[in-house]
Chain A
Amino acid sequence: MAETTTEPTTDEADEGGLRRSITGKQLFFYTLGDVLGSGIYVLIGLVAAAVGGAFWIAFAVGVSIAAITGTAYAELVTKYPQAAGAALYVNKAFGNRVLTFLITVCFLSASFAASGALADGFASYFATLWEGPPALLVTLLFILALSIINFIGITESVVVNMVMAFIEIAGLVIVLVIGVWYIAEGNAEFATLTDFRSSEGTHPAVAILAGVAQSFFAMTGFENTANVAEETIEPHRNFPRSLVGGMITAGVIYVLVSMAAALTVDTETLAGSDAALLEVVEKGILPISTDVMSTLFSIIAMIAITNTTLVAVVTQPRILYGMANEDVVPGVFATIHPSRRSPWVGLLFSGAVVAALLVVGHVVPKVEGETLIGRLSLVTVLFLLFIYALVIIACLKLRGHDEDENTFHANTPLLLVGLAGNVAIFAWSVYDDPTALWWCGGLLAVGVALFLVEYVFGSRSRPSGVERGEPTVESRREI
């Protein structure tokens, strides 16, 4: 009779230690793809409008602040590799349940707003290919399609993820080639690169701050890499490198592309365009048919936006699932489809919230005089800046806890600069456009409403004597 053991054995012997599946390279492209897709395709026109020809500086400053925030994430991920992100770090640092709940709801709201903004960006490129359907319909179908894809689970291939990142880079390389071609022809006026359009008494520094606030949406997305932290091979080594490396690469691409765009298209045109980078392609600088180029470019842009939106659509039900397991939202969000293993209730709900945002967003701008994409991206940025600032503080506060020789250490002075940067952009954005706070409030209200539903109706599911969200005996021992 063979002996019986139920000791867990890992697969280290079979696969040379490869029991986690995300390599450093994959993480790099995950970061890069997620960051690139969220912005440059969408927002360059707004930034150009805010700053003028020198808007590349805004991209450089913005991505630096984001990359510094990325180092704080990298440090925290190497300490707490669970796939929970900001809420976990803030909980570890402050141990305050209300604050943890607030951060989680902020993150969820940011993700909702980002999906809305990206869907709108998708629609504006879609309209360049086929003007038939109304933008609202395109955005709604887009969100529906991504939710179905997510339910089925075909987004889970890391290979697809890498291919999409490559396609995104290809799109930006097209813009770069056009820029270089234009310079080589001797048509470029480099003075544009130092031109601040808002010269009427506005200090360039203020113009740049405004531009950073407008462009910051393009820098976001990296926080979602915490999703795959748990499954990254050698996270101590790979996470800081791939995350920060991905962001620096994104930064370099952003700066070069903004320069190319500023040189080839005049600022007025960029500022007035919904799909600004398409203007660069449509200038007809390359000796290739403009039609072919702009069709190709629109498709690439749509793929890029899809990639980033998918990450957001995956993140939302995941957050709801985590919250349902902590009893802060109704337990129905922890429902997993028995065969697809997808959190379908959370998916459905998230899709509905984003759809509602889009519908409301199509009515309100006519009153407010602000584009939907500008509004939603600003709302995303406000939420994320708040989260980023708290993550940096959490990182500093958790110094000396849970460290070992492998822990990555972010540079402290840089973190302080990053914190100041996040706060400054936040303050400027609120000062510049206080109405965005109403939108933030509306999204937060969704989270609070879910909590209240759970609070009033959910007590039956909890064993007696256990407080809401209270850590159980086992988890307390871990801390």
Chain B
Amino acid sequence: MHVIIATDGSQQSLRAARHFKSFADPAKITDVSVVAVVRPLAAVAFADDLSPQEKRRADLEAGGFRKAAESATEAIASVFEGWGPKVHQRIRSGSPANEIIKAAAQLQAGLVVVASGGRGISETVLVGSTAQRVQHYAPCPVLVVRPPRRTRRKK
């Protein structure tokens, strides 16, 4: 089975990758593709929250947003290092949900793993959540990893 792990460079996408790894059986998975999508018309085309600060700055200076996307996929790919399945890193460009769905179709993926950023109204009210769109239109099962419930006392 080919599994796609989508990353938008967020910590939550790293948590999603780890969560998937925590229960999946590497013997049944042939390939893991880490997919990052650069959004050329967005204010910040790709933000990498996963690499160390120093590397992020160097990436932006040397290679721009594409480099940031590469570093983020690298960070996610390293989660699966030595796990078993082949790990691929793919950078695509365009609208994240569309590109993830397209990648799933092209790679004949058996599962897509996406992170859902928030809970509550920001996700329900605002249109165009990537996780929602992937859930609705992906050609295969989708694992949506939601953030842990917030505790009362701490923001």
Q: Are A6 and B42 in contact (CB under 8 A)?
A: no
**A325 and B118 contact, Cβ closer than 8 Å, known pairs A6-B78, A83-B64, A314-B43:** no
Known: A339-B116, A341-B9. A10 touches B91 (CB 8 A): yes
Tell yes or no: A407 within 8 A of B by CB: no
CB–CB B38/A478 < 8 A: no
Question: What is the CB-to-nearest-CB distance from A246 to chain B, in angstroms, rounded to a whole number?
Answer: 16
**A399 on interface, CB distance cutoff 8 Å:** no
Tell me, rounded to whole Å, the shortest Cβ–Cβ distance linking A456 to chain B: 20
CB distance from A469 to the nearest CB of B (A): 9
The answer to whether A150 touches B43, judged by C-beta atoms less than 8 angstroms apart, is yes
Q: Judging by beta carbons under 8 Å apart, are B86 and A338 in contact?
A: no
> Which of B56, B77, B118 touches A338 (beta carbons < 8 Å)?
B118
In this complex, the member of B53, B80, B106, B107 whose beta carbon has the largest number of chain A beta carbons within 10 angstroms is B53
| One of B30, B73, B80, B117 near A339 (C-beta < 8 A) | B117
A153 to B49 CA separation, bound complex (whole angstroms): 19
Quick check: is B128 within 8 A (CB to CB) of the other chain?
yes
Q: Is B135 an interface residue when CB atoms closer than 8 A count as contact?
A: no
CB-defined contacts of B40 to chain A, threshold 8 Å:
21-22, 83, 156, 158, 227-228, 230-231
**Contacting pair A230 B45 (CB below 8 A):** yes
Contacts A9-B89, A474-B62 given; indicate if A342 touches B42 (C-beta within 8 A): yes
Is A401 an interface residue, CB under 8 A from the partner?
Answer: no
A313 nearest in chain B by CB position: B43
User: With a CB–CB cut-off of 8 A, which chain A residues contact B107?
Assistant: 14
The total of chain B residues at the interface (CB under 8 A) is: 62
Nearest residue in A to B94 (C-beta to C-beta)? Answer: A21
Closest partner residue, chain B, to A337 (CB atom): B117
Q: Which of A210-218, A316-324, A390-398 contacts B (4 or more CB under 8 A)?
A: A316-324
Could you list 24 A-B pairs, sorted by A, with CB under 8 Å? A2-B84, A4-B83, A6-B74, A6-B80, A6-B87, A8-B73, A8-B74, A10-B90, A11-B90, A14-B106, A83-B65, A156-B41, A230-B64, A231-B66, A314-B43, A316-B43, A317-B43, A321-B47, A325-B57, A337-B117, A339-B122, A473-B58, A475-B61, A478-B61
Contact across chains for A231 and B93 when beta carbons are under 8 A apart: yes
Q: Which residue of A lies closest to B31 (CB)?
A: A2
For the complex, give the distance between the alpha carbons of A49 and B82 in Å. 72
Contacts of A202 in B (CB 8 A): none
Q: CA separation between A393 and B91, bound complex, in Å?
A: 35
Q: Of the candidates B60, B88, B129, which one forms a contact with A325 in the assembled complex, judged by CB atoms under 8 Å apart? A: B60
**Interface contact B90-A474, CB-CB below 8 Å:** no
